[in-house]
Amino acid sequence: MSPESASVDATHSTPDAQEAQLHQLAARWLFVLRTLFIVLAVLLWLAFVEDTSHEHRLTVDAVAGRDANLATAVEHYAVRVLGTAQAVTRLLAQQVVERRDVGAIDAMVADRLRANDVFYELGVCLADGRVLTYARAAPQLSAAACANMFPTIPAGVGIVMLPPIQASNGLLVPLALPVIDADGKRLAVAVALSPAESMLRVMQSVVLHDDTVVLVLGADGLPRAAWRSRTGHVGDAAGFDALSDLARGATQARLHGRDYLVSTRTDAPGGLQVKVATARDDALAGFHARRARLLALCLLVTIGLAAAYHMLARMQAEGVARSRALFRARRELEQANERLDREVQERTAQLEHAYRDLETFSYAVAHDVRAPLASIAGFAQALEAGIAADGNEKHQHYLRRIQSNAAHMDELTRNLLELGRLTRSPIERQPVDLSALAAEVLERLREMEPARIVATEIERGLTARGDRALLRQVLENLLGNAWKFSSKQAQAHIAFRRDPGAAAPGETVFVIEDDGQGFDSDEAPGLFQPFRRMHDREEFPGTGVGLATVQRIVALHGGRVWARSRRGAGARFCFSLPAHSQ
């Protein structure tokens, strides 16, 4: 089958087949639409899962990085304290090894304590049980405390951070250095007691909005000093016991029912460890808030997609229903068109018959009516000489009346024939110089009445597109009326110009004005109807067909015509034509 025959078959397919095809297309379109919206929803939620997972990792990494930086800062400060303590205790140990007298050692202890504000107390625990100490307040190094330290400090190591001592003003961290002589015998232990808070003094300038715990651990993994953002410090042994789970946690721990993220720093000398733990829910609070907002947004978008799908599906169902109704209407319309075609053919035949009758009538008017008028005029002219010789004034008046009425009837018949021809003659559209036509018409009128004084004003460059002969007839009628009805003025004025202010979009308005007798335009609703006159024929001759001719010609060109006038104040006739590029 050729493409042409297939196209013909599709064009002439039955409405039932087209309705079935429409149903298939509608079902296919609905399936594609549903699939599209499901894919969009799946992509939306996959993007939500991916974005939240990525942001969760970023948030956790950011908290871990911050805690690692805090651990590094605390470690550096704690190492500085340990370094200072090691230097001081070594100086004291040297004094003991050199066997200086007790007074000299005591003086040195007091001097070193005044020079270092990170220590609360400095002292030396001698092997014979004596204690040389100097404290800023009540001393904490007693013989019993020194006796407990001796067995816990291994020999041959550097400074050791011992478990804290509970004092009246807080926890004190013992920093002990064993004093060994040349034979390896332990002579004493040099001890520096540092407040636990001084080990974490760097945290005093840190502002944290979440629950964060900083721990300084000894080599045994037990807390030596602690700081918590909620309280600012942890100052007793009970508090250390509560933090034991955080001390044992590598990356995560649990405290008071809350999970903590743990960062550990283990590179410090002497087995010193620093742990920073941040409450997981506090660290992820911002993430959870953003995820909740994004979840709400995704839910709204999903609801919007569902609503859009429902709306489009409903519109599609309504469209299918309307299409089916259109198919049914099409069947009815095809039947009505067949009936209408038959009626149009019948009416066309009737119109053609009426047109032929109208042409026959026009010829009858042209010949059968005007022929008797010509005979009447001829006989009246033949009688004119005899009646003039008789000298009867009454008979001469009757004869002039007969001649005038016969001439008027002949002119009226001729105008009616011309008006009828307007609907039969084709319009030849071409550019027409209206300014030149108006000048020619006025020049001819001036030649017919050279004695009249008439000032004329014609705007240059007025053009239109239309039938030159018909537009000339429009100007002859309108300018002729202006010339005729201003004849009683001693010095008349006639103007032809364009009026941009009165033009609607796509048209050009032309105006012909005069200062003649005028008329009351409010009392002339049928001014452009045939035989409608505003003045008596004795006062101003005419047939009353000219304005009807103007209205018919302008309408054939797609324009309109109207007039404004007041009795004794001249007239203003306007006509519009489709806009033409000048």
Residue 557 has which token pair? Answer: 């060109």
pLDDT of residue 39: 92
Q: Which residue has the higher pLDDT, 459 or 237?
A: 459
Give me the mean pLDDT over the 114-127 stretch: 84
pLDDT of residue 527: 72
Residue extent(s) of CATH 3.30.565.10 domains in the chain? 427-578
pLDDT of residue 215: 85
Residue 251 pLDDT greater than 90, yes or no:
no
Q: Which residue has the higher pLDDT, 526 or 567?
A: 567
Residue extent(s) of CATH 3.30.450.20 domains in the chain? 55-283
CA dihedral 389, 395, 398, 404 (to 10 degrees): 10
Residue 373 has which token pair? Answer: 């008028």
Output the CATH code of domain 55-283: 3.30.450.20
Residue 526 pLDDT greater than 70, yes or no:
no
Q: Phi/psi class of residue 99: alpha, beta or left (left: φ > 0; alpha: ψ in -120 to 50)?
A: left
What does the alpha-carbon distance between residue 117 and residue 3 come to, in Å, rounded to a whole number?
104
Residue 382 pLDDT greater than 90, yes or no:
no
Tens digits of residue pLDDT in 324-343: 888 788 878 888 888 888 88
Collect all residues with Cβ–Cβ distance below 8 Å to 26 and sequence separation of at least 6: 316, 319, 320
Q: Which residue has the higher pLDDT, 454 or 236?
A: 454
pLDDT of residue 484: 84
Tens digits of residue pLDDT in 188-231: 888 888 888 777 777 777 777 888 888 888 877 788 888 888 77
Collect all residues with Cβ–Cβ distance below 8 Å to 491 and sequence separation of at least 6: 453, 454, 455
Amino acid at 558: G
Range scoring the smallest mean pLDDT among 257-271, 362-376, 491-505:
362-376
Q: Which residue has the higher pLDDT, 569 or 42?
A: 42
The answer to whether 20 and 244 are in contact (CB under 8 A) is no
For the chain, the maximum distance between any two Cα atoms, rounded to a whole number of angstroms, is 188
CB atoms within 10 A of CB 400: 13
Q: Give CA angle at 463 (565, 479), nearest 5°.
A: 35
Pairing label, strands 252-255, 258-265: antiparallel
**What element of type H or E holds 447?**
helix 434-448
What does the alpha-carbon distance between residue 534 and residue 566 come to, in Å, rounded to a whole number?
12
Return the percentage of the chain with pLDDT > 70, whole number: 79
pLDDT band at 128 (very low <50, low <70, confident <90, very high): confident
* Sheet with 454-458: strands ordered across: 454-458, 492-498, 507-514, 571-578, 561-565
Tens digits of residue pLDDT in 1-26: 444 444 444 445 566 677 778 778 88
pLDDT of residue 406: 65
Highest CATH level, class, for 427-578: alpha beta
Collect all residues with Cβ–Cβ distance below 8 Å to 44 and sequence separation of at least 6: 298, 301, 302, 305
Collect all residues with Cβ–Cβ distance below 8 Å to 305 and sequence separation of at least 6: 37, 40, 41, 44
pLDDT of residue 325: 83
